[in-house]
Each structure stands twice: as structure tokens, then as C-alpha cells.
């Protein structure tokens, strides 16, 4: 079974600063990987996803993530944070093949942005 760890429960950054949110996964092969964002009072919005190919994935809102097989990581980055990025971010891993519907979520990282 797959698992996901988001080591940081809460991160605070200044507006305009760079951001990196960490995600480590456990899975026996190359998984499907996702980042979702949940703004206050909102549902989950898909930021980006990795299935194969280029290990650097571009998403919406200026976010990107890099899949590093050797480190079992899929960290989310943004070069310059905006106040509207304050939200909770969830990394998720999906199995390949017959179990591809099974998503396992991390516990989330809450991002606060200081003006």
C-alpha cells in the first residue's frame, strides 16, 4: 500500500518569497503523484500531477513540482508567493494499474503568507 508524508504541518512565508512544500511517498513502483490546494472554505483544486515523462511538472497559479525517484519526493515550489496562495496544500499518491483509483493523501501543509 502507498503512503504519503508531508513533514511540515504549517509554513509561514513573506509575500514575494520563494516557497517549497515537501512531500515524500512510499510506493513499490513509480506512482501517480498529485498536488491539491484547498483555499479557506473551499473544496480541493488540482494544482498539478505527474504520471510519466519530464520529472518537472508545471501547474496552475505558477506552481511547479519535481519528481525525484531517488528521494521518493515530489516537492511543490513557487518562485514568488502571493497573498492569495495562503491555503492548505495536499500531496496525494495514486497506484498504477487496477488500483489507480486509490488516492492516498498526506495530512496537509498549511501555508500562511505575511504581507
Partner 1 sequence: DADVTQTPRNRITKTGKRIMLECSQTKGHDRMYWYRQDPGLGLRLIYYSFDVKDINKGEISDGYSVSRQAQAKFSLSLESAIPNQTALYFCATSAPGSPQETQYFGPGTRLLVL
Site of interaction with partner 1 (CB under 8 A): 9, 32, 34, 36, 42-46, 49, 51, 90, 94, 96, 100-103, 105-108
Nearer residue to partner 1 within complex by CB, 106 or 111: 106
What's the CA gap between 59 and 113, in Å, rounded? 20
Nearer residue to partner 1 within complex by CB, 10 or 79: 10
In whole angstroms, the minimum distance from the beta carbon of 68 to partner 1 comes to 20
DSSP strand pairing (44-50 vs 87-94) = unpaired
In whole angstroms, the minimum distance from the beta carbon of 100 to partner 1 comes to 5
| Closest by Cα among 6, 13, 1 to 35 | 6
What's the CA gap between 81 and 86, in Å, rounded? 9
C-alpha cell at 83: 497573498
In whole angstroms, the minimum distance from the beta carbon of 105 to partner 1 comes to 4
Amino acid at each position: 500500500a502507498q503512503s504519503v508524508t508531508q513533514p511540515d504541518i504549517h509554513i509561514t512565508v513573506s509575500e514575494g518569497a520563494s516557497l517549497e512544500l515537501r512531500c515524500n511517498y512510499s510506493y513499490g513502483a513509480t506512482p501517480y503523484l498529485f498536488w491539491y490546494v484547498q483555499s479557506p472554505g473551499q473544496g480541493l483544486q488540482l494544482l498539478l500531477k505527474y504520471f510519466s515523462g519530464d520529472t518537472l511538472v508545471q501547474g496552475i497559479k505558477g506552481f511547479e513540482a519535481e519528481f525525484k525517484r531517488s528521494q521518493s519526493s515530489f516537492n511543490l515550489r513557487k518562485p514568488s508567493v502571493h497573498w492569495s496562495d495562503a491555503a492548505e496544500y495536499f500531496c496525494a499518491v495514486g497506484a498504477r494499474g487496477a488500483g489507480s483509483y486509490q488516492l492516498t493523501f498526506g495530512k496537509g501543509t498549511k501555508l500562511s503568507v505575511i504581507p
